[in-house]
Amino acid sequence: MNIYGIKREDLEKYFIDIGEKKFKALQVFEWLYNHKVDSFYKMTNIKKELQERLDKDFSFNMISIQKKQEDKLVKKYLFKLFDGNFVEAVLMQHDYGLSVCVSSQVGCNMGCAFCESGRLKKVRNLGAYEMVEQILLIEDDIKKRISSVVIMGIGEPLDNYDNVLDFIKIINDPKGIAIGARHITLSTCGIVPKIKELMNESLQINLAISLHAPNEELRSKIMPVNKAYKLELLIDTISEYIAKTNRRVTIEYVMLDNVNDSDKEAMELAKLLKGMNVYVNLIPYNETNHIEFKRSNKEKIMNFYDVLKKQGINVTIRKEFGGKIDAACGQLRSKEVKA
Ligand code: SAH
């Protein structure tokens, strides 16, 4: 077991099981996440025999930074995992602080037609520690604290539910990396049963749904997941989620030229979301090797925005980061794997 994948409550159980006091877990967490030590032998308030025991029971191995690419407000990291697989994360500098977009799987099986990450099928889930370490390595690289995390990198987080939840709990722990739940966003393509599970976890995190189309036909065409969990069911589930958690949900809508960006689709989307406590985030498409998809131009995006606004829908246009440095959605890994 890697120590960075252990929740504090589980570490407490471990200590109780081996006949130690449970507050040892707190001490270990402070060493790991405040003092950032990389060995149990540096935890000076833990006695020698216990250090040895911990060293036998847990590993410290880190993923490693394979490559970095940088532009003004963005830095992209390619990480190498123990088994030679790669994932990526993106650091973004906002006026409100630093955010990191983390990956949750090696590859992805959701097969969205426009997405680069999905070209490379899922190889495996990431362990919680591999997600925690993406953040730790970035904080160490920039010598600054991260203030928010979005789980929007490679992979479908709800297809790796248990590990993603452990990850959230570890980074949210006030004695861990201490990122407030309201500063953590999980983005999903719409795995309905897992959204239902998530609403019962009483977490205060933000949920973002990749909707991208306002009707069944179009959504099924560009997002195969819609064949399993229909738009109608997804919308009902989002309503249920909002009622249960009292949290506003983000609707992501990637703007694809001549695919989903006309007045007709804007009106359909407005009708679909009317009265729901959601806001729509329009995402300028990052063009990839999927030559059949182009980004909608500025006028079209503005027009779509205006139609939604007029219909009383809360809407914003996503600020762009990293298009120039392949920071967009799985492109760095995709290049590395091909090379
Ligand atoms: N699987 C999750 C999270 C990863 S994808 C999900 O589907 O939400 C994160 C977001 O980036 C999704 O909204 C996805 O549709 C979008 N996306 C994928 N490729 C993109 C691209 N080339 N340009 C802009 N957004 C893209």
| pTM passes above 0.85 | yes
Residue of minimum CA distance from atom 5 in ligand 1: 152
Q: Which of 101, 112, 189, 329 is catalytic?
A: 329
| C-beta of residue 175 within 8 angstroms of C-beta of residue 29 | yes
Residue 30, SS3 per DSSP:
helix
- Specify whether 179 is located in the same domain as 211: yes
- Specify whether 87 is located in the same domain as 213: yes
Ligand 1 atom nearest to 330, measured from its CA: 19
- Specify whether 135 is located in the same domain as 278: yes
* Centre of ligand 1 from the C-alpha of residue 169, in Å: 23
Q: Which long-range contacts (CB under 8 A, 24 or more apart) does 291-296 make?
A: 292/113, 293/113, 293/114, 293/256, 293/257, 293/259, 294/256, 294/257, 294/258, 295/255, 295/256, 295/257, 296/255, 296/256, 296/257, 296/261
Cβ of 283 closer than 6 Å to ligand 1, yes or no, is yes
| C-beta of residue 169 within 8 angstroms of C-beta of residue 7 | yes
Check residue 327 and give its pLDDT. Answer: 55
The residue ranges of DSSP E strands in 44-120, in sequence order, are: 64-71, 74-80, 86-94, 97-101, 105-106
Check residue 291 and give its pLDDT. Answer: 77
Q: What string of DSSP letters covers 131-163?
A: HHHHHHHHHHHHTS---EEEE-SSS-GGGGHHH
Could you give the number of structural domains in the chain? 2
- Specify whether 49 is located in the same domain as 194: no
Across residues 247-261, what is the average pLDDT? 97
CA atoms within 13 A on the CB side of 333: 34
Cβ of 222 closer than 6 Å to ligand 1, yes or no, is no
Query: Residue 59's beta-bridge partner residues?
Result: 2
Among 125, 161, 212, 252, residue to substitute to test ligand 1 (most atoms within 8 Å of Cβ): 252
- Specify whether 137 is located in the same domain as 255: yes
Cβ of 210 closer than 6 Å to ligand 1, yes or no, is yes
Question: C-alpha dihedral over 227, 229, 232, 233, to 10 degrees?
Answer: 160
Query: Is 88 annotated as catalytic?
Result: yes
Cβ of 254 closer than 6 Å to ligand 1, yes or no, is yes
Q: Which two tokens stand for residue 249?
A: 């949900």
Check residue 326 and give its pLDDT. Answer: 61
**Of 19, 36, 57, which residue constitutes the final position of a domain?**
57
Across residues 63-69, what is the average pLDDT? 95
Element (H, E) at 282: strand 278-284
Cβ of 12 closer than 6 Å to ligand 1, yes or no, is no
Q: What are phi and psi of 26, to 5 degrees?
A: -65, -45
* Centre of ligand 1 from the C-alpha of residue 115, in Å: 6
- On the question of pLDDT at 330 being above 90, the answer is no
CATH number for 19: 1.10.150.530
Q: Which of 88, 133, 156, 252 is catalytic?
A: 88
Across residues 279-301, what is the average pLDDT? 92
- Specify whether 238 is located in the same domain as 175: yes
- What percentage of the chain carries pLDDT values higher than 70? 95
Across residues 191-216, what is the average pLDDT? 97
Q: What pLDDT, in 10s, does the model give residues 106-121?
A: 999 999 999 987 778 9
- On the question of pLDDT at 71 being above 90, the answer is no
- Specify whether 52 is located in the same domain as 84: no
Check residue 5 and give its pLDDT. Answer: 97
**Of 57, 78, 95, which residue constitutes the final position of a domain?**
57
- Specify whether 53 is located in the same domain as 181: no
Check residue 289 and give its pLDDT. Answer: 79
DSSP conformation class of 110: S
Ligand 1 atom nearest to 295, measured from its CA: 23
- On the question of pLDDT at 15 being above 80, the answer is yes
- Specify whether 106 is located in the same domain as 227: yes
Q: Kindly report the average pLDDT of the chain as a whole number.
A: 94
Among 88, 109, 112, 115, residue to substitute to test ligand 1 (most atoms within 8 Å of Cβ): 115
> Rounded to an integer, what distance in angstroms lies between the CA atom of residue 87 and that of residue 76?
11
* Centre of ligand 1 from the C-alpha of residue 288, in Å: 12
Cβ of 152 closer than 6 Å to ligand 1, yes or no, is yes
- Specify whether 17 is located in the same domain as 114: no
What is the extent of the structural domain holding 105?
64-338
Cβ of 207 closer than 6 Å to ligand 1, yes or no, is no
List Cα–Cα distances, 30 to 8, 36, 46, 97, in angstroms: 11, 8, 12, 23
- On the question of pLDDT at 32 being above 60, the answer is yes
Check residue 329 and give its pLDDT. Answer: 58
- Specify whether 200 is located in the same domain as 244: yes
- Specify whether 142 is located in the same domain as 192: yes
CATH number for 149: 3.20.20.70
- On the question of pLDDT at 237 being above 70, the answer is yes
Across residues 54-75, what is the average pLDDT? 92
- 39 — pLDDT class (breaks 50, 70, 90): very high
